[in-house]
């Protein structure tokens, strides 16, 4: 049985993914978690912000954990990324385009003075990019290039996700995912040495 704190964090994580930080009301979260208001401040002295930070950390732990498990179960790391993207797209569609990424939804609304919330979002995006980079590197792409591709991958996916939610249509998101996977396949091929032609091999032997 989940604890009161766990229920609060779970409720906030779901609400952030659907509505973002500004759109979530404390009373709504308390109702979902079935807890009285005083309990919130017992677990989170800074109230809604502290709860949101905990929810962001839980969400990113789940998102990165999902990719890590996919990578462990697939021989091909790029296939693992494809399955991971497909799973998130299906969840988006199953929620009637309401359930997006809590990081992106919150980042759009955060203000300069909300330093702790901004720090949690930065931590979350960094963790997500790092997990994607590990997967890309596992596909045989050098670490430095994998980090560059991961930053682009996450940014492009988040942009496609937001457009899909606005339009209630995942066509553009599907295209973004296909393009990203195609880019990774091309990068992977670049790392494989080209086979020598037989006549080139013979010429080399003759010249020697």
Domains of the chain with bracketed CATH = 4-192 (1.10.357.10)
* pLDDT tens profile 144-166: 999 999 999 999 999 999 999 99
- Locate 91 and state its tokens: 């969840």
Overall pTM surpassing 0.75 (yes/no): yes
Q: What is the mean pLDDT of residues 78-106?
A: 93
Q: How confident is the model at residue 1 (pLDDT cuts 50, 70, 90)?
A: very low
Is the pLDDT at 194 greater than 80, yes or no? Answer: no
pLDDT for residue 166: 92
* Inter-helix orientation angle 77-94/47-73, to 10°: 130
The average confidence (pLDDT) of the chain is 90
Closest of 78, 85, 66, 103 to residue 170, by C-alpha: 85
Q: What is the mean pLDDT of residues 25-54?
A: 89
pLDDT, greater one: 188 or 202: 188
Q: What is the mean pLDDT of residues 28-54?
A: 89
pLDDT for residue 207: 55
pLDDT for residue 112: 86
The count of other CB atoms within 10 Å of the CB of residue 199 is 8
Among residues of the chain, what percentage have pLDDT more than 70? 91
pLDDT for residue 37: 80
Q: What is the distance between the alpha carbons of residues 102 and 99, in angstroms, rounded to a whole number?
A: 8
Q: How confident is the model at residue 22 (pLDDT cuts 50, 70, 90)?
A: confident
* pLDDT tens profile 122-139: 999 999 999 999 999 999
pLDDT for residue 198: 55
**C-beta of residue 156 within 8 angstroms of C-beta of residue 60:** no
Closest of 45, 63, 61 to residue 5, by C-alpha: 45
């Amino acid at each position: 049985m989940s604890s009161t704190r766990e229920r609060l964090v779970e409720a906030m994580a779901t609400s952030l993914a659907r509505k973002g930080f500004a759109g979530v009301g404390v009373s709504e979260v308390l109702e979902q978690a079935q807890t009285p208001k005083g309990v919130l401040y017992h677990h989170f002295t800074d109230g809604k912000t502290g709860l949101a930070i905990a929810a962001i950390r839980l969400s990113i732990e789940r998102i990165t954990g999902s990719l890590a498990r996919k990578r462990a179960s697939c021989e091909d790391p790029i296939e693992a990324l494809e399955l991971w993207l497909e799973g998130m797209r299906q969840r988006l569609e199953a929620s009637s385009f309401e359930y997006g990424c809590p990081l992106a939804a919150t980042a759009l609304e955060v203000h300069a003075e909300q330093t702790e919330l901004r720090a949690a979002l930065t931590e979350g995006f960094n963790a997500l990019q790092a997990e994607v980079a590990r997967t890309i590197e596992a596909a045989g792409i050098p670490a430095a290039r994998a980090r560059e591709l991961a930053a682009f991958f996450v940014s492009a996916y988040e942009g496609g996700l937001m457009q899909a939610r606005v339009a209630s249509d995942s066509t553009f998101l599907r295209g973004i995912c296909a393009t990203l996977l195609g880019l990774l396949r091309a990068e992977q091929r670049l790392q494989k040495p080209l086979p020598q032609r037989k006549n080139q091999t013979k010429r080399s032997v003759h010249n020697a």
